[in-house]
Amino acid sequence: MQHDPCQAYLTSLTSPKSIRVARASLNAFARCHGCESHETFCWSDLSAGHIAHFNQQQISEGKSPNTINMRLSLLKSVAQQARLLHIISADEHERIKAIKRIKGRREPAGRFIEDDEFRYIIRSIKAQAEAEKPNPAIRRDLAILAVARYGGLRRTELALLDLEDCNWGDMSLRIKGKGNNRRDQALPEFVIDIISDWIDVRGEHHGPLFTRIRRHGTVTPDRLTDQGIYYIVTTMQERTGLEAVKPHDIRRTYCTSLLDEGNDLSVVSDLMGHADIRTTKIYDRRDATTRTRVARSQKNIFQ
């Protein structure tokens, strides 16, 4: 194991999501070269040719430049570990480092969710509550949807919320963001009311804000995982028959809505918890119609 550069790289990652993505990418690389997984690939044979071939396969499969370049960066990191372990030569490492990123326009991922779609999802959830016996999952799921839509939280941030993170005095949440960064996220009063409705069912004991609920409606103290958040959101959408809705689409919608209302980009970037304002621009889903409307709404100073 100590001579496995792949495992050395995976061990350096701290986020479970990053580890899952990296492992899937490394397995895809290994399968491209006839191996079942990254654990059976002989990393001492790693070469620039292997990586170039993998890039070409991904291009032929229609993978986006963003995905290909992410995987290229990952493989270069593994190559760095392989060099440190002295299982590939310095010359081969230099050849791998010299592989250029794939050029191409990065198409925005995800989509913007219209208000009418949100209303339809909410009506569907409430209709289910009326048709069935009282189910605490209804209040929890509505609270998750409200905090995601009006707080713009990542699904991992939603999962990491504790009851102690609720500041009832100034109507905000203390968010545990990427890189252990914390921020206070203000919320509309009606969102706080929806959270309170869930807490009435959950109880006011310390611990995770959003918890697992057993099939028969028993509220547990166990933290809902980020995968659980993903399942809840996608299930909401599947019940309505709407176009696919993912948790990050709700975050994109939050960002786009704030920008569309004329809020300053730097303020929106802070609310999103972005370290770089350029990242916030990627989340902007305003279309050409919006840009045209903004451009034509400028005041005429020539009159």
Q: How far apart are CA 184 and CA 142, in angstroms?
A: 21
pLDDT of amino acid 303: 54
Q: How far apart are CA 290 and CA 248, in angstroms?
A: 22
Q: What is the pLDDT along the chain (303 residues), one digit of tens a residue?
A: 457 899 999 988 877 878 888 999 999 999 999 999 999 999 999 999 999 999 999 999 888 888 898 999 999 999 999 999 999 999 999 999 999 988 865 555 678 888 888 888 888 887 776 666 678 988 999 999 999 999 999 999 999 999 999 999 989 999 998 777 889 999 999 999 999 999 999 999 999 999 999 988 899 999 999 999 999 988 877 777 777 888 899 999 999 888 888 888 888 888 898 888 888 887 777 665 566 666 666 665 555
Q: Delineate the domains of the chain, giving CATH numbers in brackets.
A: 5-97 (1.10.150), 115-292 (1.10.443.10)
| Cβ contact 157:230 at 8 Å | no
pLDDT of amino acid 201: 93
Q: Which of 37, 29, 41 is nearest to 4 (CA)?
A: 41
Q: How far apart are CA 81 and CA 89, in angstroms?
A: 12
pLDDT of amino acid 75: 95
> Which uninterrupted H or E stretch holds 183?
strand 182-186
pLDDT of amino acid 87: 93
Backbone angles phi, psi at 173, to 5 degrees: -120, 140
pTM above 0.75, yes or no: no
pLDDT of amino acid 296: 63
pLDDT of amino acid 108: 56
